[in-house]
Amino acid sequence: MNIISLVGIAIVACILCITLKPYQPVFAFAISAVAGIYILLMALQPVYELIHSINTLINSVNISSEIYMPVIKIVGISLVIRISCAICKDAGQQALSTKLEFIGSVACIILCFPLIEHLISLVSDILGLEL
């Protein structure tokens, strides 16, 4: 993945969108959507490589999936929500974007509870407290 070429595609698409939006807003949105999808598709291979590297590291250290899976899920949810919100904002749907941000935050908080429980359990074991 060549970052410079992806940035170039994004800038050209942005200039085209700004130029076309007053005359043909549908085409401007289509250009923006196609450029965005292309950029995301180009990012898939490095993401797969990153996931493989993380799995290799986790397996070599023997960390419990109870600890790292919520973190990975939260990062995934955050990325999906961020991209979805940007798409909604590009389409002029600020209210929908705000609602997506809210539900993403709630989902992340819910996923944090197993980590919080694990942390409280570790602290109580260290302090010799019984819960």
Q: For 97-117, write each residue's pLDDT tens digit.
A: 999 999 999 999 999 888 888
Supply the mean pLDDT for the chain.
87
The string of pLDDT tens digits covering residues 25-79 is 889 889 988 998 898 888 888 888 888 888 888 888 877 777 778 888 899 899 8
* Distance, CA of 54 to CA of 61 (rounded, Å): 11
Give the pLDDT of residue 45: 82
* In the chain, domain spans: 1-61, 63-131
Give the rounded percent of residues in the chain with a pLDDT score beyond 90: 27
Interhelix angle 65-90/94-127, rounded to 10 degrees, is 160
In the predicted model, is pLDDT for residue 1 greater than 70? Answer: no
Q: Quick one: pLDDT at residue 64?
A: 74
